[in-house]
Amino acid sequence: MIRAARYFARAKFSIDWPIQFLVGVTGVLLTFFEGSLALWSLFYGATPLLSLVFLYWMMVQCENFVPVFPVFVIGLISDILFSEILGGRATAYVLAFYYVGFRRSKILQGDFMQTWLDFALVVTGVMLFQLLIFSLLNFAIPALTPILFQIGSTLILFPMGYLLLFSLASLVEKVRMLS
């Protein structure tokens, strides 16, 4: 029993961190891409949360590769990039991380519609949290249309992101099997 535990602990420690680092870098690059999407007049003032789509998929499918710290850093970088309340989105992402961790087994058991619905809850939660903090700190309510647009566009793009990430994951798996 003791031996098995030791082997398990060592194997787990030695394999995860490079991938965790890669996940963080990919998330940061996606955040930059989000920022560049704002140059299109279609997404002016309300770009879809692509980094959240990526993080959600990773948190559900590859829990071990997504520790909380990169999630916090990705949120913080989007706060700086979009000049929003410092730490607002970072906190929302961290809270989303704990929520998904709590719901993970149920999400994995359900079908795609259930996953989508759960993601809708996460996106709405992230935006509502930011809205609440913004309103409390500024004593003002911003225009709600861009917020709804941001939630809507993220939800519309979710299936595409989900499919893309699944395809990439299966490709990586095939390459690994071949090598």
Length of the chain: 179
Min dist CB 83 to another protein, Å, is 4
- CB of 18 or CB of 142, closer to another protein: 142
- CB of 128 or CB of 174, closer to another protein: 128
- CB of 115 or CB of 130, closer to another protein: 130
The footprint of another protein (CB under 8 A) covers: 2, 5-6, 9, 29, 32-41, 43-47, 68-69, 72, 76-78, 80-88, 90-91, 94, 127, 130-131, 133-134, 137-138, 140, 142-143, 145-147, 149-150
The CB-side HSE value for 143 (13 A sphere, CA atoms) comes to: 6
Min dist CB 145 to another protein, Å, is 6
How far, in Å, CA of 100 to CA of 97, rounded?
5
- CB of 103 or CB of 110, closer to another protein: 103
- Return the CA Rg of the chain: 18
Q: What is the DSSP string of 121-174?
A: HHHHHHHHHHHHHHHHHHS----HHHHHHHHHHHHHHHHHHHHHHHHHHHHHHH
